[in-house]
């Protein structure tokens, strides 16, 4: 069974204090609420490929979906392919790329792994060095964008305590964990200016945002230099003037026997850690955070002993897919987020990954389902499966990662049919003349699978 814990309004309902005396029970019983999320048990009568083809083939051929449509549908319990249309052909995946990134980093690091941001003593008394640990969710102070994130204000308190009577006089920031270009091949020139993503650096707060906000289709202003902005925010917390902030490398820690005159370069002054990796991948998938995806992709490369660059990260992600026994030759990546139009992934690659995650054979991979947006309920699927009215049958039942680029609409995820059968699917369409009608046509295919007594 796959379960989803939904924060937010549910927490408010459970924890709110009563504001008035209880009122008598209504005379008419309240209607039973529909489930927010249907249990995915995988049981029920097995569908047939002929039945599924009759059900969705006319919808897949709809002009509203686009000029090129690639589809795969697979029954998890039997591992039988129920429907395929150019399923082994790589096509632009958009943000469904993040499924590979999440699976790879969970496989590489495990769900409980945390990212550390450290501060150490610099080369001279009073100098502090902030070392970026590649945590895209690092925050300056408490906020609602990434609840429970590591925070610079807490790190600053540790540093002040460690320094004691010594005042912090200057700050260096070390971003050497990541290297290479800070933008990927295939990104649009406006992706950063429109707030879709930030420059990819090992040190940033709020995934490079100027303010801790998130909008599904961009509009989140980004810092021109995320690492420098984070360092200046940290310096302010330490009482260090902005003029004393510079980029640099952390010194190598002195041997314990060395005479350092009371100041030990490289000595740790404080550390804060991110939430567990499973929570980072949940946020990345649910909100489709591009910067978070790129940072987590680099941690796959680091885990494999490779440099944290775009090329090494994408190579490491694909290699992980191959090691998992998946058709890695059907994935060609230029980034870890799906912003690059140069990316190519086949529907078969996505459905086989989802089926493996659902099988329980690799427990770490099963964690990706907790982050998949739920139709009509969470993340990028909150407003999906609304119109036309028949699509609403998918609300609370379809859990999937969506992808959107200009002219491209994709979706890959899981659903439970009316007969209680668990299916995984990937629908990848391009060439739609209208993004809104194209997404609705895509939703219609998944909704038909939900009602399928095939």
Per-residue pLDDT band for 142 (boundaries 50, 70, 90) equals very high
pLDDT at 258: 52
CB 373 within 8 A of CB 382: yes
403 part of a folded domain: yes
HEC states along 79-135?
CEEEEEECCCCCECCHHHHHHHHHHHHHHHHCCCCCCEEEEEECCCCCEEEEECCCC
Question: What is the mean pLDDT of the segment spanning 246-270?
Answer: 82
| Helix, strand, coil percentages in the chain from 3-state DSSP, rounded to 5 | 35, 15, 50
pLDDT at 25: 36
60 part of a folded domain: yes
Q: Give the residue from 358, 430, 388 showing the smallest Cα distance to 77.
A: 358
pLDDT at 261: 57
Token representation of residue 23:
């009122």
pLDDT at 327: 98
88 part of a folded domain: yes
Which CATH number belongs to the domain containing residue 89 in this structure? 3.40.710.10
Q: Would the pLDDT of 338 be above 90?
A: yes
Helices 310-323, 290-303: inter-axial angle, 10-degree rounding: 70
If one compares 344 and 5, the residue with the highest pLDDT of the two is 344
Q: Give the residue from 336, 340, 371, 335 showing the smallest Cα distance to 354.
A: 371
DSSP 8-state symbol, 31: P
Q: Verify that 208 and 357 share a domain, yes or no.
A: no
Domain that holds residue 231: 116-251+264-275
CB 340 within 8 A of CB 186: yes
Question: What is the mean pLDDT of the segment spanning 369-388?
Answer: 94
CB crowding 112-138: b at 16 or more within 10 Å, else e: ebbbebbbbbbeeebbbbbbbbbbbbb
pLDDT tens for each residue of 294-314: 999 999 999 999 999 999 999
Rounded to whole angstroms, the Cα distance separating 292 from 206 reads 9
What are residue 52's phi and psi, to 5 degrees?
-65, -40
Rounded to whole angstroms, the Cα distance separating 111 from 159 reads 29
Q: Would the pLDDT of 381 be above 90?
A: yes
Q: Give the residue from 435, 322, 423, 410 showing the smallest Cα distance to 90.
A: 410
Hey, which residues does 271 pair with through a beta bridge? 118
Per-residue pLDDT band for 224 (boundaries 50, 70, 90) equals very high
Question: What is the mean pLDDT of the segment spanning 236-255?
Answer: 93
Rounded to whole angstroms, the Cα distance separating 425 from 400 reads 9
Q: Verify that 89 and 157 share a domain, yes or no.
A: no
Rounded to whole angstroms, the Cα distance separating 284 from 280 reads 6
Q: Verify that 58 and 171 share a domain, yes or no.
A: no
Per-residue pLDDT band for 12 (boundaries 50, 70, 90) equals very low
Token representation of residue 394:
């998918």
358 part of a folded domain: yes
188 part of a folded domain: yes
Rounded to whole angstroms, the Cα distance separating 162 from 17 reads 41
CB 337 within 8 A of CB 287: no
Q: Verify that 64 and 127 share a domain, yes or no.
A: no
Q: Verify that 388 and 421 share a domain, yes or no.
A: yes
pLDDT at 39: 44
Q: Verify that 423 and 353 share a domain, yes or no.
A: yes
Locus of tokens 């392919």: 81
Q: Verify that 150 and 218 share a domain, yes or no.
A: yes
Q: Would the pLDDT of 5 be above 70?
A: no
360 part of a folded domain: yes
CA distances (Å), origin 126, targets 119, 123, 140, 242, 247: 12, 9, 22, 15, 16
Q: Verify that 88 and 186 share a domain, yes or no.
A: no
Q: Give the residue from 312, 316, 348, 344 showing the smallest Cα distance to 331.
A: 344
- State the chain's mean pLDDT as an integer: 90
Structural domain count of the chain: 2
Q: Give the residue from 331, 442, 451 showing the smallest Cα distance to 71.
A: 442
What are residue 131's phi and psi, to 5 degrees?
-110, 115
Show which residues are catalytic. Answer: 95, 98, 288
Burial (CB < 10 A; 0-12, 13-18, 19+), residue 263, is middle
Q: Verify that 120 and 268 share a domain, yes or no.
A: yes
Segment holding 435, helix H or strand E: helix 435-450
CB 171 within 8 A of CB 203: no
CB 134 within 8 A of CB 124: no
Residues sharing a CB contact under 8 Å with residue 448, sequence separation 6 or more, in sequence order: 55, 56, 59
246 part of a folded domain: yes
Rounded to whole angstroms, the Cα distance separating 357 from 364 reads 8
pLDDT tens for each residue of 15-53: 333 333 333 333 334 334 334 444 445 567 889 999 999
pLDDT at 445: 97
Rounded to whole angstroms, the Cα distance separating 361 from 350 reads 17
pLDDT at 454: 85
pLDDT at 387: 85
The answer to whether the pTM exceeds 0.95 is: no
pLDDT tens for each residue of 105-126: 999 999 999 999 999 999 999 9
DSSP 8-state symbol, 359: H
Q: Give the residue from 101, 25, 420 showing the smallest Cα distance to 289.
A: 101
Query: What percent of the chain has a predicted confidence (pLDDT) above 90?
Result: 84
Residues sharing a CB contact under 8 Å with residue 50, sequence separation 6 or more, in sequence order: none
157 part of a folded domain: yes
Q: Verify that 236 and 375 share a domain, yes or no.
A: no
Rounded to whole angstroms, the Cα distance separating 107 from 309 reads 19
Q: Verify that 233 and 137 share a domain, yes or no.
A: yes
Rounded to whole angstroms, the Cα distance separating 20 from 5 reads 29
Q: Verify that 132 and 269 share a domain, yes or no.
A: yes
């Amino acid at each position: 069974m796959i379960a989803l814990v939904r924060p937010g309004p549910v927490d408010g309902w459970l924890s709110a204090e009563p504001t008035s005396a209880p009122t008598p029970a209504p005379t008419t019983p309240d209607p039973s609420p529909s489930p927010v999320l249907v249990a995915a048990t995988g049981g029920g009568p097995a569908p047939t490929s002929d039945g599924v083809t009759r059900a969705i083939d006319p919808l897949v051929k709809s002009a509203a979906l686009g000029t090129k449509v690639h589809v795969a549908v697979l029954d998890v319990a039997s591992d039988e392919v129920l429907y395929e249309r150019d399923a082994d052909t790589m096509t632009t995946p958009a943000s469904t790329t993040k499924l590979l990134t999440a699976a790879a980093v969970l496989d590489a690091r495990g769900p409980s792994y945390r990212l550390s941001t450290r501060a150490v003593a610099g080369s001279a008394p009073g100098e502090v060095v902030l070392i970026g640990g590649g945590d895209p969710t690092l925050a300056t102070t408490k906020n609602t964008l990434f609840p429970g994130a590591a925070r610079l204000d807490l790190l600053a308190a540790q540093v002040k305590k460690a320094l004691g009577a010594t005042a912090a006089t200057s700050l260096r920031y070390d971003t050497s964990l990541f290297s290479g270009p800070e933008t990927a091949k295939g990104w649009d020139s406006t992706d950063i200016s429109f707030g879709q993503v930030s420059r990819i650096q090992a040190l940033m707060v709020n995934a490079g945002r100027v303010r801790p906000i998130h909008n599904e289709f961009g509009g989140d202003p980004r810092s021109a230099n995320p690492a420098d902005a984070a360092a200046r925010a940290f310096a302010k917390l330490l009482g260090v003037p902005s003029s004393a902030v510079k980029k640099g490398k952390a010194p190598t820690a002195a041997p314990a026997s060395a005479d350092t005159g009371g100041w030990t370069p490289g000595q740790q002054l404080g550390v804060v850690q991110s939430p567990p990796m499973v929570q980072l991948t949940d946020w990345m998938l649910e909100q489709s955070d591009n910067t978070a995806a790129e940072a987590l992709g680099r941690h796959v490369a680091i885990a494999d002993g490779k440099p944290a660059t775009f090329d090494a990260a994408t190579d490491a992600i694909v290699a992980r897919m191959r090691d998992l026994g998946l058709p890695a030759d059907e994935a060609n990546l230029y980034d870890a987020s799906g912003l690059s139009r140069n990316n190519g992934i086949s529907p078969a690659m996505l459905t086989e990954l989802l089926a493996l995650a659902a099988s329980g054979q690799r427990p770490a991979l099963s964690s990706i389902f907790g982050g998949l947006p739920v139709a009509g309920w969470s993340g990028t699927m909150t407003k999906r499966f609304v119109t036309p009215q028949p699509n609403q049958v998918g609300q609370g039942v379809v859990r999937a990662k969506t992808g959107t680029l200009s002219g491209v609409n994709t979706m890959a995820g899981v659903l439970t049919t009316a007969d209680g059968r668990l299916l995984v699917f990937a629908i990848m369409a391009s060439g739609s003349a209208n993004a809104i009608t194209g997404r609705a046509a895509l939703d219609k295919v998944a909704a038909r699978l939900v009602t399928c007594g095939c």
